[in-house]
Amino acid sequence: MSPTEPGAAAPVYDVPGPRTDPAPLRDAAARRPRGLGRGSGLLRSELRTTFLRGRTLVMLAVLAAVPVLVGVAVRFETGGDEGGAGAGPAFIAQVTHNGLFLVFTALAATLPVFLPMAVGVVAGDAIAGEAATGTLRYLLVAPAGRVRLLLVKYATTLAFCLVATLTVAGSALAVGALLFPLGKVTLLSGTTVPLVEGLLRAVAVAVAVAVSLVGVAALGLFVSTLTNSGIAAMATTVGLVITVQILNAVPQLEMIQPYLFSHYWLSFADLLRSPVEWSDLLSNVGLQGLYAAVFGSAAWARFTTRDITV
């Protein structure tokens, strides 16, 4: 009973296309170059699954709401002492003069907590969430391939870092344009540049903020390979984010602080100087790359050897 006998195939598999005899399809498939199309199917599926998920949309909505709150507060709190913006570059004082500064204000406000928390949720859930629902075993026997699945999960988490940052920036720009005047931008170094250049610098700032999240994403993915509970992985990652921020604020721990992933986070403000001060920005990129390499390798080592018992 050779299943490849012509015409012997079950009629249910007779779908449109060359299906009655499986051989031609297989040959056609073998001839097709392995480019986009089939190898990337999992990445597209993962992006769709992540970004159309209710939880993701809620997090993005919350992120988009932050600039609205800040913008409305600044607009209607017309008191004179706006300068008390606390730590970080004092963008908030500038918002009333130029709505573009709401972008920088909103990014500075969300980078310490909201953004890494959202990234921690997505990264922490990446593998552990699939394990918790049991779908991990079906992806692996499909076979997704462990390395491929891990890479797809990391790529999707990085995409989320960028989308989340752009959501904050985009919302801030819209609110800023609506509530405040837009115009020439006075940089932190005192020079004034045209609005277009200011917008370009805003895009660069958003990218710098997204890059700042690369380390958290890798850390979260590693944590995600350690457990079968999505909730535990998310909570652990978010807990680590908060712990690191606290450590970074304790003066006595100065010697370890350059190695904390949040150490250079506010370096994005250096993009608003003329000329741009690259040293901290580049240190940030290097540090995030280091985290990605270390925790990416750890995640790989763990995930490729782990027994999937759920």
Partner 1 sequence: MGTSTTSEPETVIATRDLTKRFRGGQLAVDRLDLTVPRGSVFGFLGPNGSGKTTTIRMLMGLIEPTSGSTALLGRPMPVEAGRVLPEVGALIEGPALYGFLSGRANLARIDAADPTSEPRTRRARVDTALKRVGLAAAATKKARAYSLGMKQRLGLAAALLKPRSLLVLDEPTNGLDPQGMREIRALIRELAADGTTIFLSSHLLDEIEQVCTHAAVMSQGRLLTQGPVADLAAGARGRLVVTTPDPGEAARVLEVHGVHGITVSGPRVTGHPPAVDPPDLADLNAALVRSGVRVRSFAIEGTSLEEAFVALTGEGFHVSD
Identify residues 176-205 at the interface with partner 1 (CB under 8 A): none
Q: How far is residue 145's CA from residue 141's CA, in Å, rounded to a whole number?
A: 8
- Environment class of residue 187 by beta-carbon count within 10 Å: exposed (0-12), middle (13-18) or buried (19+)? middle
> Rule CB under 8 A: is residue 302 a binding residue for partner 1?
no
Which residue blocks in the chain are alpha helix, DSSP H?
A: 22-31, 41-51, 54-76, 92-95, 101-110, 114-133, 135-141, 146-179, 195-212, 214-226, 230-249, 278-305
Identify the three-state secondary structure at position 15.
coil
Only one of the segments 11-19, 88-96, 166-174, 216-224 lies at the binding site for partner 1 (rule: CB under 8 A); that segment is: 11-19
Between 70 and 152, name the residue whose CB sits nearer to partner 1: 152
Identify the three-state secondary structure at position 182.
coil
Between 153 and 263, name the residue whose CB sits nearer to partner 1: 153
Q: How far is residue 203's CA from residue 107's CA, in Å, rounded to a whole number?
A: 11
Identify residues 53-82 at the interface with partner 1 (CB under 8 A): 53-54
Q: Could you check whether the bond before residue 275 is cis, i.e. omega within 30 degrees of 0?
A: yes
Only one of the segments 31-39, 203-211, 215-223, 281-289 lies at the binding site for partner 1 (rule: CB under 8 A); that segment is: 31-39
Between 6 and 84, name the residue whose CB sits nearer to partner 1: 6
> Rule CB under 8 A: is residue 47 a binding residue for partner 1?
no
Which residue from 90, 93, 140, 182 is in contact with partner 1, where contact means CB under 8 A?
A: 140
Residue 302: both structure tokens together: 């763990």
Only one of the segments 3-11, 71-79, 93-101, 243-251 lies at the binding site for partner 1 (rule: CB under 8 A); that segment is: 3-11
Of 93, 79, 227, 100, the C-alpha closest to 173 is 100
Which residue from 70, 144, 150, 281 is in contact with partner 1, where contact means CB under 8 A?
A: 144
Q: How far is residue 54's CA from residue 51's CA, in Å, rounded to a whole number?
A: 8
CB of 310 to partner 1, least distance (A): 9
Positions touching partner 1 (CB under 8 A) are 1-4, 8-10, 12-13, 15-17, 19, 22, 25-26, 29, 37-39, 41-42, 44-45, 49, 53-54, 133-135, 137-145, 148-149, 305, 307-309
